[in-house]
Amino acid sequence: MKTSRRDFLSMCAAAGAGLAGGLPGVALADEAPKKGGSVRMAVQNGSVSDTLDPAKGAHSGDWTKQFCIFNALMEFNDSLSPSPALAEKLESSDGITWHIAVRRGVHFHDGSELVADDVVYSLARHKDPATTSKAFAIASGFKEIKANGQYEVTLVIDKPNFDLPSVLGSSYFLITKNGAKDFLKPIGTGPFMLGAFTPGGKFTAKRNPNYWKSGLPYLDSVEIIGVPDNAARVNAVLAGDVDICSLVEHPYASQVKGNANVQLVVNKLAIYTDLILRQDNPIAGNKDFVAAVRYMQDRKRMVEDVMRTYGVIANDHPVAPWDPYFLAGLPQREFDLDKAKFHVRKSGLAGQSIEIFCQPGIATSVEGAQFMQSFGAQAGFNFVVRQVPTDGYWSTYWTKRPITYGSISNRPNVGMIFELFYTSKSPTNEARWKDPKLDQLLESARAEGDFNKRKAIYGDMQTLVHDSSGTIVPVFDVILDGVSKNVRGYKPNPSGMNMGYRFAEAVWRA
């Protein structure tokens, strides 16, 4: 059921809507950016748990607001490489002791200068259990953080990790003022200064006139509102009530493409839905069962029919083709029912009733489970699809039943994905697949200072996961945004949604 424009405006009023429509978005060749105006973005997230605390951000809505207010030590360019931001330099000879040169001449919104103590505090607060930081596990490896004078910081970590610059470019490690506690009224160094913020309501911010990046931002102000209803978000941008609709679900893509005033922006991100086969379960962990299920994945049909071509075929590992560490030479696993039947016979599980749990809130999981049921019947498996409500799925079913689906967002680097979802000791190892070889390869990759050698090690990890793990990654999702053609400068960034969560400092009005 579609949500009307009147319904949407009522939702905005409930959220405390304010700024007028019109927005800077898709750049035209050689067009000079213009100063002034405002932008209004509707995001898919919005609840009383929304936060501006970098340590606690949980979704793209949080992160996009936080990047309006704060900067990180590093930031990602269009090729997913970390570039200097608040750190003029971030260097290490051994991957353990890191020297951070704090950028000089940067000021917080209250006029105070950014110094080393601010960086020390911002990193160290994640180590305190009382902070309840989502980066606590990462920060627990920070063995020493100290200021060396006003503009130098030394960070010592427990194990070599030459991917640390990417980690420090993530939203969790945005830099706050020394001693900052009040994140309802945060003060940062970012392109915008907070206007108003209500969790579950509206976020407004105004241009920082003393921003350290020369000439930026272009806009005078920005507003972000949470509109969880997919139809409402799309209808809002089509009607001109907002300037950007973050996340256009695939079924609505044709409506956006058919509108003369809105452009559909395609973002290739390392976001995927994975099929999880618990390797500590006698059925899901049966090696021939796993092999049979792999060959039942009709990836092409998933991309063309379910995702309406807005997807990219994956190869049963978490590294996307556009990632710098992607292993291009790994043969693509193809849909093959004959091979699936062979492994069904070898598994000894033919004819058994086997449950698959899915939920509509995980993109392509319901369709994927239905494909499995159909192809399984042809191959000799009796799959029973259990579609359960979104509420309670993550606490009751995900990874707790033998066969479920997961939803994985992109991380700053592939090392974090492998660490979180594939290492033996990780509490979020979805399939309970444990291989000491992968654990050692990850340590070796992080300790390797040469990029090409590190890429080769990450390639070995992709091969190992592709061949042996209990997770199946059929496709990568393509994230779509609807952007008013009055918006300029809006373009994809592979580090995250909404231009790597940094759209506000880059766009301008036509």
CATH of the domain at 281: 3.10.105.10
User: Does residue 229 lie within any of the structural domains?
Assistant: yes
The pLDDT of residue 137 is 86
Mean pLDDT value across the chain = 92
User: Does residue 182 lie within any of the structural domains?
Assistant: no
Whether 19 has a pLDDT exceeding 80, the answer reads no
Q: Which domain holds residue 202?
A: 5-68+190-261+485-509
Give the Å distances, CA to CA, from 353 to 25, 158, 375. Answer: 51, 47, 14
Dist. CA 386–CA 369, nearest whole Å: 9
Of 269, 250, 218, which Cα lies nearest the Cα of 482? 250
pLDDT in tens, 164-186: 999 999 999 999 999 999 999 99
Say yes or no: 134 and 166 in one domain: yes
Confidence of residue 412 (pLDDT cuts 50, 70, 90): confident
The pLDDT of residue 369 is 98
pLDDT in tens, 193-205: 999 999 989 999 9
Chain mean position to CA 256: 23
**Ranges 10-14, 28-32, 158-162, 374-378: which has the least confidence:** 10-14
Whether 53 has a pLDDT exceeding 50, the answer reads yes
Say yes or no: 367 and 502 in one domain: no
Dist. CA 397–CA 68, nearest whole Å: 36
Say yes or no: 473 and 340 in one domain: yes
User: Does residue 184 lie within any of the structural domains?
Assistant: no
Q: Which of 173, 202, 226 is the last residue of a domain?
A: 173
Grouping H, G, I as helix, E, B as strand and the rest as coil, residue 9 is helix
User: Does residue 185 lie within any of the structural domains?
Assistant: no
Say yes or no: 334 and 426 in one domain: yes
Q: Spell out the residues 6+ positions from residue 294 whose beta carbon is closer than 8 angstroms to its own.
A: 316, 333, 472
Say yes or no: 106 and 231 in one domain: no
Q: Which of 116, 139, 173 is the last residue of a domain?
A: 173
The pLDDT of residue 30 is 58
Question: How many CA atoms lie less than 13 Å away from 292 in the CB half-sphere?
Answer: 29
Cβ atoms of 451 and 459 closer than 8 Å = no
Whether 22 has a pLDDT exceeding 70, the answer reads no
Say yes or no: 358 and 390 in one domain: yes
| Confidence (pTM) | 0.83
**Ranges 14-23, 30-39, 322-331, 466-475: which has the least confidence:** 14-23
Whether 14 has a pLDDT exceeding 50, the answer reads no
Whether 11 has a pLDDT exceeding 50, the answer reads no
The pLDDT of residue 229 is 87
User: Does residue 448 lie within any of the structural domains?
Assistant: yes
* Residue burial 452-464, b: 16+ Cβ < 10 Å; e: rest: eebbebbbebbbb
Say yes or no: 236 and 274 in one domain: no
Say yes or no: 299 and 366 in one domain: yes
CATH of the domain at 141: 3.90.76.10
Say yes or no: 17 and 91 in one domain: no
User: Does residue 472 lie within any of the structural domains?
Assistant: yes
User: Does residue 504 lie within any of the structural domains?
Assistant: yes
Say yes or no: 362 and 463 in one domain: yes
Grouping H, G, I as helix, E, B as strand and the rest as coil, residue 187 is coil
The count of structural domains within the chain is: 3
User: Does residue 33 lie within any of the structural domains?
Assistant: yes
CATH of the domain at 244: 3.40.190.10
Q: Which of 173, 202, 225 is the last residue of a domain?
A: 173
**Ranges 27-31, 114-118, 381-385, 466-470: which has the least confidence:** 27-31
pLDDT in tens, 256-296: 999 999 999 999 888 999 999 999 999 999 999 999 999 99
Say yes or no: 107 and 206 in one domain: no
- In percent, the amount of the chain with pLDDT more than 70 equals 94
Say yes or no: 64 and 78 in one domain: no
- In percent, the amount of the chain with pLDDT more than 90 equals 83
The pLDDT of residue 56 is 95
The pLDDT of residue 447 is 94
Q: What is the mean pLDDT of residues 464-477?
A: 98
Grouping H, G, I as helix, E, B as strand and the rest as coil, residue 497 is helix
The pLDDT of residue 58 is 85
Confidence of residue 218 (pLDDT cuts 50, 70, 90): very high
